[in-house]
Amino acid sequence: MSNHTAACIAVLMWAGAGNAQTTLAWKFTKGQTIHAERVASQKQLVEVNNKKLKSETHSVWHVRFEVMDVRASAAQIQATLTKVEHKTAGPAESELIDAKLHEKMRGAVFDLDVTPSGRVLALKGYGDFVNRLAEKDETRAAAVRVTLSESALTARFEEFFGPLPTKSVNQKDRWDRRSVESMPHFGLLRQTASYEYAGAIDGRHLIDYTVAATYEPPIKDDRMTLFRVVKGSFGFDDSKGRLVFDADSGILSERDHTVRLRGELVVASKDRQHTMHVISENTLRIRIKR
């Protein structure tokens, strides 16, 4: 073999190695048990009629996930809230449905269908969850469905699992995930999260992401007699996060996310209009252990 031929082969082998793709997917196994902790904090400032209202919330969810069955498309996972802590200060404290709501959440069980990329295809047990919290009180049940809807709860569980790419990736490859976040009585946020594979450090595969959002006011509802939203705008000043995936064990081990939301709402109440300015700082921290 000539020196020129050997050199060309070496270059091709080097180029091929440089383009090696990485598969980031959950490796679910039947009987597998995973313990997770979700810590979420929010600091919010609302200014209306020259008055400033500050509130803070801090919640911690301890969740046990047990893989009941594994299929090609998705794993059947039982999720149990083993402990829920919640602290609130400021005006938000008076808006609680039940001061002991977090205690009633403890022991709640859900059945999830989760894909290897971390998508929750189905959630079962929401009806029992509402009944558990409302204790057969229809008014309270309606309030639970508004403040923590089935879609919102599904999205919260998805935070533990991804999203991961649906195919193998190279460094700097990107993928998006669109979602809708409801703001009860005030409208909704259509969000687009953009993820980028940042490579691996010491076996830890890093995924960085940012989130952009557009605001939509609520549909006019004549039943809303106390106030109605005339118009508004919301946006993220800063929204960034990072996922850490352990490809060897097939587990998303960490998630960190910070977001600063700023908005303005014009609200009509008793034939008068008021302008509300809102600033919300939110942090999310998830850690998962086998």
Domain extents in the chain = 23-289
Most confident of the following: 29-33, 148-152, 218-222: 29-33
CA distance 9 to 238: 47
- pLDDT value at position 128? 94
pLDDT band for 153, please (50, 70, 90 cuts). very high
- Flag the least confident range among 2-11, 44-53, 110-119, 268-277: 2-11
Task: Taking residues 11-30, report their average pLDDT.
Answer: 70
pLDDT band for 179, please (50, 70, 90 cuts). confident
State percent of the chain over pLDDT 70: 88
- pLDDT value at position 228? 79
Q: Which fold, 23-289?
A: Lipovitellin-phosvitin complex; beta-sheet shell regions (2.30.230)
- pLDDT value at position 187? 82
Judge whether residue 142 has pLDDT over 70. yes
Judge whether residue 2 has pLDDT over 90. no
Q: Which of 140, 120, 122 is nearest to 131 (CA)?
A: 140
CA distance 161 to 217: 30
The tally of CA atoms less than 13 A away on the side-chain side of residue 124 is 7
CA distance 275 to 187: 16
pLDDT band for 99, please (50, 70, 90 cuts). low
CB-count burial class (<10 Å; 0-12, 13-18, 19+) for 159: buried
CA distance 85 to 95: 17
Q: What angle do CA 250, 256, 259 make, to 5 degrees?
A: 145
CB-count burial class (<10 Å; 0-12, 13-18, 19+) for 161: buried
Kindly report each contact of residues 139-145 with a partner whose C-beta sits within 8 Å and lies 24 or more positions away, as own/partner: 140/97, 140/98, 143/97, 144/97
- Flag the least confident range among 27-36, 44-53, 111-120: 44-53
What secondary structure letter does DSSP report for 266? E
Indicate the helix (H) or strand (E) that contains 138: helix 138-147
pLDDT band for 12, please (50, 70, 90 cuts). very low
- pLDDT value at position 221? 61
Q: What is the mean pLDDT of the chain?
A: 86
Q: Which two tokens stand for residue 47?
A: 């200014």
- pLDDT value at position 223? 57
Judge whether residue 65 has pLDDT over 70. yes
* Contact in structure between 133 and 144 (CB atoms under 8 Å): yes
pLDDT band for 8, please (50, 70, 90 cuts). very low
Q: Per residue in 218-273, pLDDT tens?
A: 876 655 556 778 888 888 888 899 999 998 889 999 999 999 988 888 888 877 88
CB-count burial class (<10 Å; 0-12, 13-18, 19+) for 100: exposed
Q: Residue 72 to residues 29, 141, 200: CA-CA distances in angstroms?
A: 12, 37, 27
CA distance 107 to 278: 35
